[in-house]
Amino acid sequence: MGDRMSADAIPGDVPSGDLVRRHRLSTRVWHAINALTLLVLLMSGLMIFNAHPRLYWGEYGANPDYAWLRVGSARSGPVEQGYLQVGRQRWDTTGKLGLWKDGDGRVQRRAVPGWATIPSRYSLAVARIWHLAFAWVLALGLLAYLVRSLVNRHLQRDIHITRGEWRPAHLWQDVRDHARLRFPTGQAARRYSVLQKIAYAAVLFVLLPLMILTGLAMSPGTDAWLPVSEVLGGRQSARSVHFLCAGALVGFFVVHMVMVVLAGPLNEVRSIVTGWYRLPKERRP
Amino acid sequence: MTLIVTRRGLIQTGMIGAGSLLLPGCDKIAQNPAVLDTLGQSEKLHRLTQRALGRNALAREYRESEMSPVFRANGSREVVDPAYRAQLAQGFANWALRIDGLVEQPLAIPLHALRTMPQRAQITRHDCVEGWSAIGRWQGPRLSMLLDIAGLKPAARYLVFHCADRYLGKPYYESIDLVDAFHPQTILAWAMNGKPLEEAHGAPLRLRVERQLGYKHAKFVSRIEAVASLAGLYGGKGGYWEDAEAYAWYAGI
């Protein structure tokens, strides 16, 4: 089984520059499934958003009510613009959101352009089929991964943030190391840094569970027996939080990709695909 | 600065380039009928899960102070059918709801009878499939009471709601199963927010099936038919949007 803790797999000291087992099978399989699942959920979700590109706080919210965020198009004189409005602030997003041209050069007034949605043409029904099917994959996948990671102690050993790591001095040192792009080398590279742990823990225990809970809160059938929307401050609040968490996950993805590129993309990609990771050589003091 | 702009431009061009190569293939998969049919099987999973966990659960009811100031109307807001317009002009004084199909006793219940029967009033949240919600007060007799009077035959599995309106040229209809039909909050509302239903909201009678999305709440209901199967009706999928565009028949999610 390649499904073991790296430290157990290779006993004793491993000279830096050597290959070590870094990611367990369960981590790698879930990572691959989840990458695809989140992409499908994001793109089909953006199509669902196109059906009503306005966000509200509270229980109710429809066109006559105040929307804290909206995407649309507006004409002033001969000029038509696409816009994104948050509160009272409005940005011109012509060509990107609200008013854009499709592949055939036709002007479209949907909020999110076709290259970012599933399907690319407007279809709420098709987007819902994709979104609601893959929501099961996300929820059951997360559950299986968390249970497996508790049992094989991945969470306790690799994600758990120790008291020492929470110390402001330690946190600040890690922020400085990141800012200077000084990544750990040698044996230290086998462990996640505290900022990495915080990012992964936030995704595992905050963002993904909140996506699932706010998704459930929007279902009128579920809302009858599981009062999640009530806890979250109303169905439209749940919808807003769903959207904000999706944005936070996209933010995580961008930082994640930047870090992979900066830390050595081949080594990082190999480790998440095969599990094998080459420890970076130790710096000369 | 120039460098950043150029780089961003390069990345954007690259992304659009990659996208235009990938998209048509992905989009074909995204809209492939067999793929959609397979993924659409999750509808059964939604129904079975929700029935297992909350078969008799009640939808949340709200206080009057929590109601939407304006309740948005959508779908058909008016009905062109001349017979309907004549009834509307008379305040539906001679209008009657028909209940037929697999029932022991077919009925034609005048609107004034529906208004004087035992009533249920509920302030509930209407969730549109598009994502918006509105809270309003609905009143009318429980559907289960009417079904008890008519007497369902054992073969009856679904109730079909035939409507007076046509949407984009096709007659609107919807259907629910017996679990939802006998649910205490499933009513035939003739009043909304304390007044007789307006035309835009489905006068004279609108189905309220509170634990499902808005398109199941058929407006302008004129006839309820008890059936054993949905296969032979209209497009065969049990509802206007189900036939038109692959929307789920079970709309509890």
Task: Check pLDDT > 90 for residue A1.
Answer: no
The verdict on residue B191 lying in a domain is: yes
The verdict on residue A90 lying in a domain is: yes
* Neighboring chain B residues of A230 at a CB cutoff of 8 Å: 60
Domains in chain B, number: 1
Residues A73 and A161 in one domain: no
Task: Check pLDDT > 90 for residue A259.
Answer: yes
* Beta carbons within 10 angstroms of residue B36's beta carbon: 19
Task: Report CA-CA distances (Å) from A43 to A120, A185, A221, B24.
Answer: 9, 37, 24, 15
- Burial classification of residue B252, based on how many CB atoms lie within 10 Å of its CB (0-12 exposed, 13-18 middle, 19 or more buried): buried
CA A141 to chain CA centroid, nearest Å? 15
pLDDT tens-digit map of B147-192: 999 999 999 999 999 999 999 999 999 999 999 999 999 999 999 9
The verdict on residue B20 lying in a domain is: no
* Neighboring chain B residues of A118 at a CB cutoff of 8 Å: 26-27, 30
Residues A179 and A245 in one domain: yes
% pLDDT > 90, chain A: 80
Residues A227 and A158 in one domain: yes
* Neighboring chain A residues of B135 at a CB cutoff of 8 Å: 59-60
pLDDT tens-digit map of A95-119: 999 999 998 899 999 999 999 999 9
The CATH number that applies at residue B182 is: 3.90.420.10
Measure CB to CB from residue A48 to each of B40, B41, B131 and give the nearest one: B131
B72 with A120: Cβ contact below 8 A: no
Query: What is the chain A residue with the closest CA to B22?
Result: A115
- Give mean pLDDT, residues A31-44: 96
Q: Who has greater pLDDT, A191 or A239?
A: A239
pLDDT tens-digit map of A134-148: 999 999 999 999 999
Per-residue pLDDT at A172: 96
- Give mean pLDDT, residues B214-218: 98
| Inter-residue contact B197 to B191 (CB < 8 Å) | yes
A221 with B211: Cβ contact below 8 A: yes
Residues A157 and A259 in one domain: yes
* Neighboring chain A residues of B247 at a CB cutoff of 8 Å: 124-125, 128
Angle (nearest 5°) at CA A186 between A182 and A187: 115
The verdict on residue A121 lying in a domain is: no
The verdict on residue B18 lying in a domain is: no
Domain range for B67: 61-245
Per-residue pLDDT at A103: 86
- Give mean pLDDT, residues B76-94: 95
* Neighboring chain A residues of B72 at a CB cutoff of 8 Å: 62-64
| Inter-residue contact A154 to A146 (CB < 8 Å) | no
pLDDT tens-digit map of B86-110: 999 999 999 999 999 999 999 999 9
The verdict on residue A185 lying in a domain is: yes
Task: Report CA-CA distances (Å) from A128 to A108, A123, A257, B251.
Answer: 21, 9, 28, 11
The verdict on residue B41 lying in a domain is: no
Domains in chain A, number: 2
Q: Who has greater pLDDT, B7 or A54?
A: A54
Task: Check pLDDT > 90 for residue B39.
Answer: yes
The verdict on residue A105 lying in a domain is: yes
Per-residue pLDDT at A13: 54
Instruction: Tell me which amino acid residue A28 is.
Output: R
Nearest to A213 by CA among A191, A200, A193, A230: A230
The verdict on residue B134 lying in a domain is: yes
The verdict on residue B12 lying in a domain is: no
Per-residue pLDDT at B15: 54
Domain range for A220: 6-24+152-278
The verdict on residue B146 lying in a domain is: yes
Per-residue pLDDT at A211: 97
Per-residue pLDDT at B19: 55
Residues A18 and A159 in one domain: yes
Per-residue pLDDT at A282: 77
- Write out the two tokens for A278: 């080459």
Task: Check pLDDT > 90 for residue A5.
Answer: no
Residues B102 and B100: their CA atoms lie apart, in Å, by 6
Per-residue pLDDT at B14: 55
Residues A196 and A106 in one domain: no
Residues A85 and A223 in one domain: no
Q: How confident is the model at residue A8 (pLDDT cuts 50, 70, 90)?
A: very low
* Beta carbons within 10 angstroms of residue B76's beta carbon: 20
Query: What is the chain B residue with the closest CA to A59?
Result: B133
Per-residue pLDDT at B2: 42
Q: Does A26 touch chain B (CB under 8 A)?
A: no
B42 with A219: Cβ contact below 8 A: no
The verdict on residue B45 lying in a domain is: no
- Give mean pLDDT, residues A248-262: 95
- Write out the two tokens for A26: 């369960």
- Give mean pLDDT, residues B214-225: 98
Residues A154 and A147: their CA atoms lie apart, in Å, by 10
Residues A67 and A184 in one domain: no
Nearest to B54 by CA among B46, B43, B65: B46
